[in-house]
Amino acid sequence: MPRWLSKLRTEADVETRSNVLFGEGATGVENADLDLSGAEDPELAQSPWRWPMPMSSPERAILEMLDEVPKDESFHKVDVAFESLANLRPRLLTTLLSLCRSVKTKRLFFVFADKHNHAWRRYIDMSSIDLGKGDRALTPGGRLHPIYRITVPANLMPTEIRNGP
């Protein structure tokens, strides 16, 4: 991103991410643009917003959001975001999950994916995804998820465990 972007006065929040989570590849980064060429105002037709701007696809964005839990994002915000992710692309998700360098992020992804049970979940090939070894303590007072071995708030536990046998 150009350095001037952070100095631009705008009401929009512009978040930049490093490639640390996925390495140097641009998998899941797409160009987006706002085409105002059909506007009646000729100045808007020449708007620089017609220029492409790289931004994360929904598949990559949710993994980036999960990487920020619990320090900069809450479990509740991620849970609400996951609720609306009915149209994710399983092949892209599988690729991103296999490239992802954070075991915490991958485990949390599957905790939320299993909870919301969207149709795309069953098409993710887990054979190429390394979930690491050992338990992960993520949140104080959390409960250890029986499948993904990461501590999460009690409301993210599988229903049969949350409600008792």
pLDDT value of residue 151? 96
Q: What burial letters (b/e) apply to 51-73, b meaning 16+ CB within 10 Å?
A: eeeeebbbbbbbbbbbbebbeee
Mean pLDDT of the chain: 85
pLDDT value of residue 48? 60
pLDDT category of residue 9 using cuts at 50, 70 and 90: confident
| Amino acid in the structure at residue 14 | V
pLDDT value of residue 85? 96
pLDDT surpasses 90 at 147? yes
Dist. CA 97–CA 113, nearest whole Å: 13
pLDDT surpasses 90 at 104? yes
Q: What is the arithmetic mean of pLDDT over 140-157?
A: 93
Q: Which of 53-57, 84-88, 127-131, 149-153 has the lowest mean pLDDT?
A: 53-57
pLDDT value of residue 14? 72
Q: What is the arithmetic mean of pLDDT over 75-98?
A: 96
Q: What is the arithmetic mean of pLDDT over 62-81?
A: 95
Dist. CA 103–CA 24, nearest whole Å: 18
